[in-house]
A = this chain, B = another copy of it.
Amino acid sequence: MTSTQLDQLCINTLRTLSIDAVQQAHSGHPGTPMGAAPTAYCLWQNFLRFDPAAPNWINRDRFVLSAGHACALLYSLLHLCGVKADSASYSTEDRLNQRLAVTLDDLKTFRQLGSRCTGHPESGWTSGVETTTGPLGQGAATSVGMAMAERWLAASYNRPDFDLFSYNVYALCSDGDMMEGITSEAASLAGHLKLSGLCWVYDANRISIEGATALTFTEEVATRFSAYGWQVLQIDNANDLTALRDGYQRFLASTDRPTLIIVRSHIGYGAPHKQDSSNAHGEPLGAEEVRLTKEFYGCDPDAQFDVPDGVIAHFSSQFGQRGATARADWTALFAGYRSQYPDLAEQLAQMQRRDLPRGWDDALPDFAADAKGLSTRDASSQVLNAIAAQMPWLLGGSADLAPSTKTHLTFDFAGDFQPPGDDPKTSYRGRNMHFGVREHAMCAIGSGLSLSYLRPYVSSFLIFTDYCRGALRLAAMMELPLIAIWTHDSISLGEDGPTHQPIEQLASLRAMPGMIVLRPADANEVVAAWRVIMQLTDKPVCLVLTRQALPTLDRASCASADGVAYGAYVLADAVDGKPDVLLLATGSEVALCMAAYEKLTADGIRARVISMPSWELFDSQSQDYRDQIMPPTVIARVAVEQASVFGWERYTGLTGAIIGMRSFGLSAPAAVVTQHFGFESAHVVAAAREQLTRQLPNQS
């Protein structure tokens, strides 16, 4: 066979494997794999620099399938390219045996329990899947983070003659991706940042679930991306490999901006009754249509999961060889780098292991008791700067709120992350990132940075978590140690009013699987919280901070803030350690409970104050510990939090009291708002007393 024939055979095998996987599963999305197969094939076979034996090689090109529903195509590529299992989700034996990331059996068990071929691509579960996708726009935005990481790594670690970092990031996007707001945000930022290593390939099949995209999506995408500062290329026919190759080459030749390649394709290409129809999108073709389609491709209509002779060898001879050579060259390069720059090489190793550098916590502040105190955002700013100064790959920024979230790195060598220009303090080496008013893209970019081994933080006001939950959720699902800093955490932000006062956001974040929420009560709890955060390697965290000053508790007369690590701890207790009533609080309401505690104690009531900055950490403690902190026999309980009461019954039960929010907030100065809603120690005292009255019959 000629090379051209082999190319076509490979493309058709990608198609038929995808079709068969969906057909066998009675579920899935065949149409996009059929239409986009040549686009992806041309990229992988001719350009993608990826060693199938080392899918986690740090300088590999990234391929992000933003059109996650087309995962059968990605799985087929991983299988045919011989990508090896190289992630902790595979057994040690599988990894030692160089198991394929995706076997033919996996393809045959597409969308079945335990298969590596899940219904949408899941990073961490299937080697070669760079990021979890499916919800549209997430992959595209995450790819921007990966391309930013490459620029930062190159600027920070490359040295003369040592171009360690030079990878490209590709994302395959669908019509749906192009409609999502998060994609627009990410594209605008990528254009601003002149991310020349970023290439989005837009598989324009012009079909969406409700029908032709002409129903709702008639904008000129090419013009839009030109407006963002991108190079835009158009390819009229997805089956034209020459044009595709030319497109990718023009991307590689471009050095000053990201590239969008718009490829006109046909969903369900080759299916006689389903091509160019929304029916080809999200359901199997059906047995008869599968036969007819295979005939159209010139394939054996009776063969299923067929991998014709020569296909794997063809992938191996080009894709595989190129990747192996590239990595071998890089490994040699890195050996030289290591001997010349051992400290930098060690940093890169630590980074990839998600280790903390020695001395990362040497300069953490210790805050003296102070009735006036400071806001937890201010305390956090000090801690963040102290750690970041010791840990070069801790970096991030805010969605245009850094002066308010106090997340700016202020030390001299921090710099701004910007395309190199006239200002020597701005370059791709800068660690202060400016995301613009683009919360959703920011969080997905955070995941992209984290997937690239950096330690990113993002920030905004707590209320704006509502704008980025889609991305936060994927960070949690991917078990990424993304640090999300949310300030202005309650009605106590005051005058900005109910549109800006978070109420249900804390509950909503606590409800998210895999997410750690931390709401520290004072400056020293902030320090302890950062100790917890920095040691997380597989969970994102929401650090929730106040706008207003909080007293720094006198730890000589109450417990140390080290208890933060347990999620909840006894801050102050009944003299005999046998409380009759528990006061539970987080963040700014802890001091309120301390005031109530003092009054109750003076009145001879045995109360215990429990500071519980993190429900998730507390719930993960042993039953013993939890019972020790909240004795099951003490059912007189008062919880206090300037947030929705929703969820607090977990700790107060059916009979406890919750002083919280049951409505939206109000616009007024903070002191007026909190008084209006009853956040006063007198109310806590009264609630505690009432609890004790209610419980008396049970105790007698």
Contacts and interface: CB of A to CB of B under 8 A. Distances in A.
A357 interface: no
A224 interface: yes
A621 interface: no
Contacts of A692: none
Most buried by B among A175, A218, A476: A218
Interface in A421-477: 434-438, 440-441, 463-464, 466-467, 469-470, 473-474, 476-477
A438 B183 CA distance: 11
A112 B672 contact: yes
Contact of A507 (B112, B511, B655, B666): B511
Given A219-B191, A498-B477, A513 B210 contact: no
A437 B499 contact: no
A272 to B, nearest CB: 22
A497 B119 contact: yes
Contacts of A118: 497-498, 666-667
A328 to B, nearest CB: 36
A216 B400 contact: yes
A113 B192 CA distance: 42
Given A511-B647, A654-B635, A667 B216 contact: no
Nearest to A438: B179
B470 A467 contact: yes
Given A499-B133, A512-B504, A182 B179 contact: no
A514 B219 contact: no
Interface residues of A, number: 112
A463 B469 CA distance: 10
A576 interface: no
Nearest to A646: B511
Nearest to A221: B227
A42 interface: no
A192 B227 CA distance: 18
A217 interface: yes
Contacts of A500: 119-120, 134-135
A404 B441 CA distance: 27
A46 interface: no
Contacts of A401: 209-210
Interface string A383-424: 000000000000000101111100000000000101000000
A210 B398 contact: yes
Given A219-B229, A438-B181, A632-B654, A499 B474 contact: yes
Interface string A208-228: 111001011111111110111
A330 interface: no
A184 B418 CA distance: 24
Contacts of A185: 179-181, 184
A508 interface: yes
A685 interface: no
A177, A499, A662: most-surrounded residue (chain B CB, <10 A): A499
Residue from A133, A404, A434 with most neighbouring chain B CB atoms (10 Å): A434
Number of this chain's copies in the complex: 2
A120 B667 contact: yes
Question: Most chain-B Cβ atoms within 10 A of its Cβ — which of A183, A466, A653, A666?
Answer: A466
A176 interface: yes
A650 interface: yes
Contacts of A25: 495
B649 A649 contact: yes
A32 to B, nearest CB: 14
Nearest to A471: B466
A360 interface: no
B511 A132 contact: no
A67 to B, nearest CB: 11
A259 to B, nearest CB: 16
A673 B118 CA distance: 13
A209 B188 CA distance: 18
A476 B664 CA distance: 9
Contacts of A113: 666-668, 672-673, 676
A209 B646 contact: no
A218 B512 CA distance: 35
A644 interface: yes
A494 interface: yes
Interface in A540-587: none
Interface in A173-206: 175-177, 179-185, 188-189, 191-192
A480 to B, nearest CB: 14
Contact of A499 (B132, B508, B510): B132
A229 B223 contact: no
Nearest to A282: B404
A175 B188 CA distance: 13
Interface in A109-134: 111-113, 115, 118-120, 122, 132-134
Given A218-B229, A224-B228, A667-B111, A504 B513 contact: yes
Contacts of A184: 181, 184-185
A98 interface: no
Given A218-B192, A219-B192, A667-B118, A180 B181 contact: yes
A145 interface: no
Given A497-B119, A511-B646, A653-B654, A192 B217 contact: yes
A28 interface: yes
A27 B669 contact: yes
A402 B632 contact: no
Contacts of A192: 216-219
6 contacts: A111-B667, A132-B499, A136-B437, A504-B512, A504-B513, A511-B647
Given A122-B498, A209-B403, A223-B223, 7 more contacts: A112-B672, A118-B498, A119-B500, A181-B438, A215-B416, A504-B512, A647-B649
